[in-house]
Structures are given as C-alpha cells and as structure tokens.
Structure 1
C-alpha cells in the first residue's frame, strides 16, 4: 500500500494509490483545480474501468466525507474554537466584493485566516482582498460565530 505521484506536464499531477485489497485508484489534479478519480482493473493497471470528474468544491466535499479524523475543534485556554472551510458560491452576495465588505469579525467574532483559491492559498488576507466564486474561506471562531459567518457568506 502506498501513494505514487507523477507530474503531468501541462496538466497537473497524477496520484496513484493501491488499496490493501489490490484496487488501483488514481486521482489526477489539474492545474486549474479540477480532479478526476480513476478506478483501474487489478489485472490490468492501464485499463480504467471508470472515471469521475470532480469540481474543486466536489473534491473538497468528498475529502471531508472520507477523512476519518476531521479537524472539528481546537481547545485553547478553556475556550472552544472551531475551524471551518466556507465556500463562496457564485450566488454569494460577496462574490466579486472585498473581504472587508463582509465585516465578518465585527458581525460574528469569527476570523477569516486564509482564502483558498483553486491552486493557491492566501494566508491572512486583508480587507482589500477581493473574493471570487469558488474561493474557500478558512474561518476560526466559536461554533456560533463560524456558523453565522457561513450564513452571511451564503447570503442568508
């Protein structure tokens, strides 16, 4: 059992994984954030039985389902803090607007500590950072604060 990565020039990277049962699974990560899951025959590792294309958002959702130990809460000095990934959809009222327009910390007490964008991460974004559809906000705060922030970003 192990993972092998192979650079695909002009495309991205292919990650191959073989389960203990001998099933060969491949994930191709394109430079633009798209992913493809491939399932291969055990007796012929070059024959793809099925391929499933995933958007970055779908890949994130699938990863959260598979991860057996998600980071749900961090305990600091007796305070319960949570870290959440909040997607910015094309329907969000903040798509195309500045992060400062959300007034996230003032309204919820939660902090946006990073913005993940397709193939790059933007740690500690300032109020002049412009949000885009497909971004994922990394927020830290109380459960109530982070949930309130998710509602705001979704337009609720």
Structure 2
C-alpha cells in the first residue's frame, strides 16, 4: 500500500493510492474545491479507466462513508468548517514571504493553524512566520474560505 501526493500547478493536488492488492486510484483536488476520483487499470497505471467528479459536499459524504471514525465535520452555529492541507509550491508568490503578507484571515476568513515542513511542524504560526517552498499549510475555515486561501497561496 502506498500513497503519493503531487502538486499540479494551476490545478490543485493529486493524491495517488495503491492498495495492498495493487489496485490504483487517485483523487484530484482542484483549487476551486472540485474533486475527481480516478480509477486505473492494473496493467497500465498511467491510463485512467474512469473518472467520477464530486462536488465538495459529495466528497465530504464519501469521506464520511469511508472513514472508520464516526466524526462529523466541526460545526459552529450551523457553519460547517473544513480542514485542508495547502502546498506552498514553486510558483507560489508567498514562498519566502511572511504569513502576515497573505492577509489570509482578513481576505478569506480562513486561518492557517499550522505549517508542516519536511523535518518539523510549526503549530499556530504568527504573522512573522516565513513560508518556504515545499511547506504545507494546515488551514481551517468554511469551504469557501479555505478554497479562496488555496487560490491566494497558489496565485497571489
């Protein structure tokens, strides 16, 4: 079993998964919140046999069906909150810049609650935290806010 994450510049992130039985599927998470599940042939792992588009709500429903832990989305006064991992890619205008430069919370309402690096994790980064290329931001907010933050980090 193995999982691989690939940043798709200008598109989003692709997550590839191979089961113990050697079956391959992938999930592509677009910057606008759309998700696609792709299924691949055992004999040609690069050829997608079928692709199923999912709205953010459908993706959440499928995740809840698959997740063995009976945990619902966090709810606060009727507002659903989501958590997303957002890569700081090569083309991000924020690689090498401060978190405060993003204006993330003011512009989107979403919060960056942690930054993951290859060798460390930085919980609750302040506005003076400097992003590096390859960082993964852990963001929490509404679906719309987190999607807007993903676009800001990718495009500015």
**Equivalent residue, structure 2, for 1:115:** 115
**Equivalent residue, structure 2, for 1:12:** none
> CA distance change for structure 1 residues 56 and 121 in 2, over 3 Å: closer, same or farther?
farther
- Separation in 1, partners of 2:103, 2:74: 24
Q: Does 1:137 pair with 2:137?
A: yes
Displacement after TM superposition at 1:75 (Å): 1.9
**Equivalent residue, structure 1, for 2:102:** 102
Question: TM-score scaled by structure 1?
Answer: 0.57
> CA distance change for structure 1 residues 72 and 136 in 2, over 3 Å: closer, same or farther?
farther
Q: Does 1:87 pair with 2:87?
A: yes
Displacement after TM superposition at 1:55 (Å): 7.0
- Separation in 1, partners of 2:5, 2:150: 20
- Separation in 2, partners of 1:143, 1:103: 18
Alignment gaps of 5+ in structure 2: 9-13, 18-25, 28-62
- Separation in 1, partners of 2:125, 2:16: 26
Displacement after TM superposition at 1:105 (Å): 0.3
Map 1:11-30 to 2 at 5 A: none
Q: Partner of 1:153: helix, strand, or coil? A: helix
**Equivalent residue, structure 1, for 2:59:** none
Displacement after TM superposition at 1:78 (Å): 1.7
- Separation in 1, partners of 2:142, 2:112: 12
Larger Rg: 1
**Equivalent residue, structure 1, for 2:67:** 69
Alignment gaps of 5+ in structure 1: 1-24, 26-36, 38-51
The CA RMSD over aligned residues, in Å, is 3.3
Matched pairs, number: 106
